[in-house]
Structure 1
Amino acid sequence: MATASEVAARFEELYGYAPDGVWSAPGRVNLIGEYTDFNEGFVMPLALPHTAVAAVARRTDGILRLHSADIDAPLAELRVDELTPLSDGGWAAYPAGVVWALRDAGHPVTGADLHLASTVPTGAGLSSSAALEVVTALALDELFGLGLTRPELAVLAQRAENAFVGVPCGVMDQTASACCAEGHALHLDCRDLSLRQVPFDLAAEGLRLLVVDTRVKHALGDGAYAERRAGCEAGARALGVSHLRDIPYEELPAALERLPDDKVRRYVRHVVSDNHRVAQVIGLLDAGDVRAIGPVLTEGHASLRDDLRISCPELDLVVSTANAAGALGARMTGGGFGGSVIVLVESGDTDAVTEAVLGASAEAGHTAPRVFPAVASAGARREK
């Protein structure tokens, strides 16, 4: 993991002078509430220890220079007044999109030099892109004295991904990266962006939350996110509400009877029931019954697999194997068709569950997963 000092030193090698500062923003894992954010529902992510780190200096000449330690590509040089949404910018589109979104919102960003390095696994459903966006937004906010709040930074970072990069994501990933607190999960209302920090100290309970990165990404996922978003919006229109968040869980059976399209019906059932699962988890954590959230996680996976249909054999095998080996619960997390699974385990069962998952994946001929603990960590911050 590159330290702030190392990233700053590399910046100086690249640009010939010292940066104005170094910032970091974490990836996230979502405990519960999947595909609910763009339905103005509820989510419950926590920040990971893995971060994107950016050394940044302010410019006043309209030039934006970008370099990544993680991509084999030359330094990119752009003009801030020529940034164009939906142009093919590769990795640089994420920080460049933030500059565009800030300027489009009327903020006087006049250029910058950036060097970025990230330890957030890419393609694992852990929000590596949101970490890049948020660390860029936080640095520019401070360097240009914009005075934006963390939720405002998250919304601008989301706009960069939606309008500039062209990914129709909700606001959860960016808000988690910007706003999470160490030792807490973030209960976020995606309608009004109100948030609550919920204590989530698993170690004190003798528990661990493992992330199993399957290291696979299926092409079937291409366009699937946008298709499901469109299906959810069609369901909301058919039910006469602005967003599926407005369908109470108690009224779900009656609502489903009004939907003739089976696919839309499945999507609606998942979103409304997953919003309910977020409420269940909040209630259990508030009551101090942390272990009881395990079955809710597993129930959430079944919904993602059967109703939303975004799972895949690798994810399903990890979930079933972990539960059979003694886990309290498990589910896929993120956009699906690959990526990661979260597994709630007793601390003493960590090795046995990990070995079972690795063994089953090997026996099935799958790519060997990467397994690591998810420790609720701090959100975006200045490092030096």
Structure 2
Amino acid sequence: MANGKRDQAKVTADAAARFAEVFRAAPDGVWQAPGRVNLIGEHTDYNEGFVLPFAIGHTARVAVRLREDSTARLISSYGDEGLVTVDLTRLAPSNMQGWTAYPLGVAWVLGQQGVRVPGFDLFLDSSVPTGAGLSSSAAIECAVALALNDLAGAALSREELVLVGQRAENEVVGAPTGILDQSASLLSTEGHAVFLDCRSRQAEQVPFDLAGSQLVVLVVDTRVSHAHATGDYAARRASCELGAEVLGVPALRDLRVDELAEAAGLLDDETFRRVRHIVTENDRVLCTVAALAEQGPTAVGELLTASHLSMRDDFEISCPELDLAVETALANGALGARMTGGGFGGSAIALIPAATEAGTRQAILTAFRHAGFREPDIFAVTPAAGAGRIG
């Protein structure tokens, strides 16, 4: 048995065993959904633009068993909250808090859409770092959405489940995010990035062969936690909506790079810089997709770095730890580097030659120590498969 299959079998068995420990019965099944790295295309999703994420090997796993009543009992492998018991007939966005808001939010949205969700017992385990900009919340939502979709016989498509997860994030968690995270988790295939048009919701698999190019994507989790439900993220979205309204376009996706000069005369400085990031970022996503098709991963480094500078200076969502990670990676052989995720903390990524991985890691650790920052968590990722049932 290959290592990957053996590891997955162990993960499945562990989740089922932990479920049985708590609930004194075997689960009906085990499902998992991955976190993601967004290669490029930040804050473009809710502007109906383009994004290019890929799934990673870090996953959220849920073991679930249906009940004959309307009760849901939930427990996770982290935190000290213990077993949470709720009546599904009384669910409302206002009475879901903490980590259970993610799975219960999915159950509530499915119910709102006419799916009869029976009671269930659920055990959650996850290896996706929280607050790292790697979509730990979407991984939970997608794993639960797949599980309840299967067990309730709802027969919703993966594209429909993307919208279920997004609605749970928006209406229950209170984070005004787009469809990037759930799309990456549900639609990814191994060895590919997902080129997503967030207006049409059309997804295309783009080959992203790191091993063949002798490259590695290094993730630097700064361990500076961020939260999409806080005001900074919402403020950026509001600026984008204002910019589109003043410029008379349905969304900033409809503005071209060569129209920015005219836009500068119509917007205040801050709103213009927010708009400029979105417009140029959409262009960078399209250029990255073209470069990957024509030349492969070695050709996209400068686009990644340009994306970071735009997020740092125009969208103002970086932080000193993210900037240091990017600058240090670039000074130590990275082809390109950028922060990834919603910003205000989280992770940076660096596209580096595989042969330099150890040196780059050490350089970043040393730079953080000298700056007096908390030690980052650094690990390599490759494009992994999307969500699915594993047991």
What TM-score bracket applies, with the shorter chain setting the length? Answer: over 0.9
| 1:198 equivalent in structure 2 | 206
* Cα shift readout 1:230-260 (whole Å, capped 9, x = no counterpart): 110011111111211111223222223221x
In structure 2, how many angstroms separate the alpha carbons of the residues matched to 1:110 and 1:290?
46
| 2:237 equivalent in structure 1 | 229
Which letter maps to 2:314?
Answer: D
Once the 2 structures are TM-superposed, how far is the Cα of residue 88 of structure 1 from its aligned partner? 4.8
* Cα shift readout 1:79-133 (whole Å, capped 9, x = no counterpart): 1111111335111000000000000011111221110100000010000000010
Question: Which of 375, 383, 389 is the equivalent residue of 1:368?
Answer: 375
Structure 1 segments, 4+ long, off by >3 Å, are 218-222
Alignment pair present for 1:86 and 2:94: yes
Alignment pair present for 1:238 and 2:246: yes
Alignment pair present for 1:108 and 2:116: yes
In structure 1, how many angstroms separate the alpha carbons of the residues matched to 2:225 and 2:130?
10
- SS at structure 2 position matched to 1:338: coil
Between 4-13 and 86-95, the greater mean CA deviation after superposition = 86-95
Alignment pair present for 1:13 and 2:43: no
In structure 1, how many angstroms separate the alpha carbons of the residues matched to 2:27 and 2:20?
7
Does structure 1 conserve the Cα–Cα contact (< 8 Å) formed by 2:184 and 2:194? yes
1:241–1:220 Cα change, 3 Å:
closer
- So what's the TM-score if we normalise by structure 2? 0.95
In structure 2, how many angstroms separate the alpha carbons of the residues matched to 1:36 and 1:218?
18
| 1:318 equivalent in structure 2 | 325
- SS at structure 2 position matched to 1:298: helix
Between 177-186 and 52-61, the greater mean CA deviation after superposition = 52-61
| 1:131 equivalent in structure 2 | 139
1:135–1:218 Cα change, 3 Å:
closer
Does structure 2 conserve the Cα–Cα contact (< 8 Å) formed by 1:86 and 1:166? no
Question: Which of 49, 53, 56 is the equivalent residue of 1:48?
Answer: 56
Describe how 1:31-46 pairs up with structure 2 within 5 A: 31-46=39-54
Alignment pair present for 1:64 and 2:72: yes
- So what's the TM-score if we normalise by structure 1? 0.97
Describe how 1:263-274 pairs up with structure 2 within 5 A: 263-274=270-281
In structure 2, how many angstroms separate the alpha carbons of the residues matched to 1:220 and 1:5?
33
| 1:283 equivalent in structure 2 | 290
Does structure 2 conserve the Cα–Cα contact (< 8 Å) formed by 1:207 and 1:344? yes
| 2:263 equivalent in structure 1 | 255
In structure 2, how many angstroms separate the alpha carbons of the residues matched to 1:219 and 1:6?
30
Describe how 1:182-221 pairs up with structure 2 within 5 A: 182-217=190-225
In structure 1, how many angstroms separate the alpha carbons of the residues matched to 2:120 and 2:96?
20
Describe how 1:132-151 pairs up with structure 2 within 5 A: 132-151=140-159
* Cα shift readout 1:16-38 (whole Å, capped 9, x = no counterpart): 11110000000001000000000
In structure 1, how many angstroms separate the alpha carbons of the residues matched to 2:172 and 2:227?
22
Kindly tell me the number of residue pairs found equivalent between the two proteins.
383
| 1:4 equivalent in structure 2 | 12
Does structure 2 conserve the Cα–Cα contact (< 8 Å) formed by 1:221 and 1:337? no
Between 104-113 and 30-39, the greater mean CA deviation after superposition = 104-113
Alignment pair present for 1:165 and 2:173: yes
Identity %: 52
Between 314-323 and 58-67, the greater mean CA deviation after superposition = 58-67
Does structure 2 conserve the Cα–Cα contact (< 8 Å) formed by 1:109 and 1:144? yes
* Cα shift readout 1:209-233 (whole Å, capped 9, x = no counterpart): 1101111136999310001001100
Unpaired runs of 5+ in structure 2? 1-6
| 1:154 equivalent in structure 2 | 162
In structure 2, how many angstroms separate the alpha carbons of the residues matched to 1:177 and 1:219?
19
Between 27-36 and 9-18, the greater mean CA deviation after superposition = 9-18
Does structure 2 conserve the Cα–Cα contact (< 8 Å) formed by 1:328 and 1:345? yes
| 2:344 equivalent in structure 1 | 337
